[in-house]
Amino acid sequence: MTPFRKIFVLVFTLLTLTLPSCGPKKKIAKAMIQSASGSSLTGEATFEESGDEVKMTLTVKGATPGTHAVHLHENGDCSASDATSAGGHWNPTHESHGKRAGDGAFHSGDIANLEVGADGTGKIEVSASDWTIGGAPETDVIGKAVIIHASADDFVSQPSGNAGAREGCGVVSQTE
């Protein structure tokens, strides 16, 4: 092999190894859910930004079987034993409370109801085009609190869906 060819192969190899890492990194955030209000619920919410959407995957264990509302609350603060330190629903657009998957208005923090099985575990995945990870303050999920409530969200009652006590709370933090 000629010296020129060796240099070409070396440069090509280095470019091939380094170029994929030059692209934009995938943005990921997580919230570790801790129990609140005397519950034994724990879990994890992972947020992954891809294109124009953020996908949240929430898994819980130790929850009471049944339907539980899930919301993003405005303050990333789970210090109160009943998680009231997380404040109200995250609502930077000042909309009425509602159902994200419906046709009407909803808060940025309105997510969905989570079904928990007889074994105390549940999982939900939601994609949202009005969320970002590290974006503008009115879309950024970082620093918000993921709240799992004791009851289902009725998607009608104002301002928060009559979802009951806050049984789980976790602060969303960027990981990548």
Q: Please, where are the H alpha helices in the chain?
A: 3-18
The pTM (predicted TM-score) of the whole model is 0.84
124 vs 9, higher pLDDT: 124
Give yes or no for residue 31 having a pLDDT over 60.
Answer: yes
C-alpha 113, offset from chain centre: 14
Give yes or no for residue 134 having a pLDDT over 70.
Answer: yes
User: How confident is the model at residue 100, as a pLDDT?
Assistant: 83
Give yes or no for residue 13 having a pLDDT over 70.
Answer: no
CA distance 176 to 166: 28
Q: Hey, where are the domains in the chain?
A: 25-174
> CA-CA-CA-CA torsion for 8, 12, 14, 20, nearest 10 degrees?
170
The closest of 28, 126, 118 to 69, measured between CA atoms, is 126
CATH number corresponding to 25-174: 2.60.40.200
User: Could you tell me the CA-to-CA distances from 137 to 25, 49, 143, 160 in Å, in that order?
Assistant: 20, 16, 10, 21
User: How confident is the model at residue 150, as a pLDDT?
Assistant: 96
CA distance 19 to 1: 25
Burial of 28 (0-12, 13-18, 19+ CB in 10 A): middle
User: How confident is the model at residue 147, as a pLDDT?
Assistant: 97
Average pLDDT rounded to a whole number, residues 108-121: 93
CA distance 4 to 167: 67
What is the tens place of the pLDDT at every residue in 137-173? 999 999 999 999 999 988 887 776 678 899 999 999 9
Name the percent of the chain lying above pLDDT 90: 63
Mean pLDDT over the full length of the chain: 87
Give yes or no for residue 19 having a pLDDT over 70.
Answer: no
Confidence of residue 18 (pLDDT cuts 50, 70, 90): low
